[in-house]
Structure 1
Amino acid sequence: MREASCKFSGTSDYKKTTTFFLNLRLSLPLFYSSPAGFTEGVGVLPDDRLNAAVGGTVMFTTTLSPSEKPFSSVNWSFNVSTTIIIFVINAENIIGPEYEDRITFFPSTVSLELRSLTLDDTGEYGVNAVHDGTILNGRTTLVIHEKVSSVLVNSSSTDLVEFSGSVSLSCSASGSSLSFLWFNGSSEVTASDRVQLTDGGSSLTIINVTRFDQGPFRCRVSNPVSTVTSDPVNLSISYGPENINLILSPPQEYFAVGSDISLTCSVGSRPPAQFKWFLNGDQLPDIGSELRLMNVNMSNSGNYSCQASNNKTLRSQTSEPSAITVLEEISGSSVKPSPNLPVEGISVSLTCEAIGSAFTRNWMKNNSELTPTDNMILSDNNRVLTFNSVNRKDNGEYFCNISNPVNSEGAKYIMTINYGPEKVQLKGPNEINFKSTLKLTCSAESTPSARFSWFFNGTVKLTNSVEYVREEVELSDSGNYTCQAWNNITERNSSSVVHELTVTGTSSGLSAGAIAGIVIACFVLVAAAAGGGYFFYKKKYVGSRWTFF
């Protein structure tokens, strides 16, 4: 490859040389026509136009491949009439004066490089070449552009209110053949019912801005030879308050006296919202997004709400109320019976009491849930359990559990039904020997245990004990013994039970041994009479007594 160039010493030389080559053109019509013996080839330059920047370089590259056989002649021209370079093999190259030091010619492919471009270089470029008897030519257009620079975005306003404000952004830049693109963040801005692009895209207008229009906005300016993006422009879009939410911590409705409670108000707002707090509709002195209630008491109960306001949008929003109920913990629980003792057949009440805020009362009997029977009534929200007529089946342990949402406590009462006396029985012998020991026992069904009174023959009171005991009864102890039971709680007496007793035997002064001897003697006499019909006896004085035999 050989770089061809030609320099002129002055205007007269250029004119002389130009005249020479003009004459040469007349003698070499192959540059412009296809005389006999020559073949015309296809275009050797791309159809698309070329773009280049002022001060830059452009390469007119042909579609020809290097060949061992050189081109016999080449002519590059600008706008047809202006010669850039004329190349003839084995001859000096001719270069137009305005292209000296600006071009480089490549004979092997007849390509041309043009440097130090100016706007005046915009136009049509042509090449004619002869190679091995074939005329080759091509045409293309070169457009010179000024590079993009000084890209700047101006905004009509940067402080706006959502849904009630509009903004216009304008993009300015230096350069030629400029085109404009707008970006919001990384997304390209396109025209819509709210977005208008005017002035060839250099102006962007947004109607009824939203928070999503806050940017950053950038303007990208480009032409075929350069692209420049502006610095970001951010819009301040005020919005809200909206989506207000009141959060209660801990998240519950009921709290014990002395608890600490926190309420937090959250809201979407720009700039940050200002807050007011209300209890049952009355404004509290507290401000800020958090309300702290420390060591609460029952007066802190009520419906709390927060209100958020925005001094830019002049809008406000109030939360739904959050109910807080402060309760006294249940303590001092007890089950108290009615003043009268539980006596079978009468009405008895058990009252479940406690200090604190009682919500529910549940009764149990003997560790099982109480199932009221026909003689039971629960009243005053289960506070009072009434027995219309108690009976022995109502004996047992009664437990009352008092609860509210913060705690529970219970108390028990063991109820014993007092009854009787009834079914009195008197046990003892109906006949007893003279001088024997008499023991009579009286019993009765009764709670508490019955007490007894004893009577002899209906008038004489003997004792108040369960048993009546008499040592060595006399014949005079024969008679009717009466037992009567009574209950000092029920204040009831039983029917009297009469027991008849007979004392048998004799009341003589003989001793038991003497009586026994007499009885034996009688048996002997009876036996003797039965043996012989008579008996003999003798007596003699022995010492100081008589002896019979």
Structure 2
Amino acid sequence: MNPLAVGSNVTLNLVPQSPINIGTWSYETTIIVLFYPNGSSVSTSYQGRVSFNRSSSELSISSLQLNDSGLYTVQGMEPVLCAVVTLSVRGKELTSPISNVTLRANATDLVELNDTAIFTCSVSSGTSLSYRWLNDSSEVTASDRVRLGGGNSTLTIVGVTRYDEGPFRCEVVNGINVSIRVLSILYINHTQQTWIVPSYKTGSVITLSCSAQSKPAVSYKWRFNETFLNEQSPQLSLQNTRQNQTGSYACVAHNNVTLRYATMTTIIKIVGEATFIVTKSVALNRDGKPLLLDQSFTLRCEVTGPVDYIHWLMNGQIISLNNRTFLSTDNKTMVINQIQLSDNGEYLCEINHTVLCLKVGPERPAVNSPDIALTGHIVTFNCSASSQPPSQFNWFFNGSQVATGSVYETGPLTLASHGEYTCVAFNNITGRNSTVSKMLTIIVNMAMVKVMGSQPIADYMFMMTCDTVGTIYFIHWMRNGWPLYAENRTDFSMNNNTLTFNSVQHSDNGDYQCSASNSLSNMTSPEYKLIVNYGPERPVIISPDIAMIRHIVTFNCSAFSQPPSQFSWFFNGSQVAAGSVYETDLLTLDSHGEYTCVAFNNITGRNRSVSKMLTIIGKTEESSKLWRLGQCMRLAH
């Protein structure tokens, strides 16, 4: 797989495949994606570049850059596992990195649908540049209104809308580095109207409401059949309505900055609870004479007032049409051809004015709430459903009812609050109910993270423990601010809470920290300074080799050791002093012999010794030695 080309894509997966319930994918010490039951969370810096397959635990990375090279780790907590892979990303030689990205806009105070926004992204240095535009977190691509030019370094938006307010970002990439510049949010002046028209009937109060999404706020006027009314608020109230108020009602919204008008019109038909009168219902043949067998006859229903539909009945039963029975378009006239004896009976026309109110639902209930929460916090669940009339709501936790209403707010959470929360939506008219459930995972907030270790002694095994309180999903170790990985002499426990040195050395000295995290928070321990105890090593005595009688000699002893060694002095096998410095009495010929320094480390329990032979000379020997020294000096000249 390695090396990988700049700009290519890669998928990291476990072999053999092993689904993980709770775990992370990390790059070096940075968590890329955190996944847990019923969800996952991608780090902000990787959103748009990585995708995670929940069923196989695969991580896919797109558009690789040189700085993506490094160690990738998948760590599972359930089941417990850990696997690492190293990626090496290579690209063609680039002459210089990107610096000083500048982003400019032609204007930031724009009018919706009228104005055009032009953004220009530039750099002061850098080669082989690639540009990418984002509106908030969404990538901007070319369309009918959006144009990219100059190698994608310019972005033009024609006829801006309120959804173009940003913030806009320019991302410049060349394989060496990525540089991003954020532009100020645009201010789009706009106006859009929406209607809410309630049900009504004759004699009732009708309220028409007009709302407009606009910056700045709009002013309102109302029209009835093209005549302006004396009302300038977002609502128009019609009191004690009559049929003569049937007509066209319009709301006119005006934005005094954009100078735009927006109008929404609706037709109101006011139908009173009128009495429907049947003035005549007659049965005649074509000549106006009494009916005879096999002849045709016509029944006509004459009414006053508005009618929605007419039914014809014979002996109280609705008449079904057949090859002898026909109705006019408005159902007011019924014709029966070739009348038969079976057509004898009482005929009625039934008229009606229909008001239709459809009762539906509840449908598609949904719960809005977090998936994970900390102990001690309060969670609010919101339940909604499509329903007419509006649904009634009940809340259940692990099968037991806990609240009524569309909103349920828990008390301070405990670990016992973990479980399934169910919303039941009920329509008391349709008699139907629908349910939706949401699993809430409770974790304990981290209260403490610290490193603990015993007395370290060189060449022995040494362990450090990351001591934590709270729910911990992942632990990472650092030394002097850099991530630590398992090596020949270092190992981690399965959950990473213990760091073991199989043979600790004083080269392992440093400041150690552990970083613990769960899906909602992370915490890093204070520094733990590791100082490995060792020695004593390589003791040395500094002193003369020869001395004259009646003189005093000073012996200095030193050794490499942590903590510093304690010293003892021996002369010809007998202890004569303690401390790193030993000063003799006036020397005699009996002072000749072996002087030994013993260095002892009371932590490691080790000792080392070194000896020095001291030769004592008298005056005769001293004169002889001085004569020989003078001869050497004359020869040297």
TM-score (norm 2): 0.43
Considering fraction of residues, name the structure with more helix. Answer: 1
With CA pairs under 8 Å and 6+ residues apart, which has the higher RCO, 1 or 2?
Answer: 1
Structure label with greater radius of gyration: 1
TM-score (norm 1): 0.49
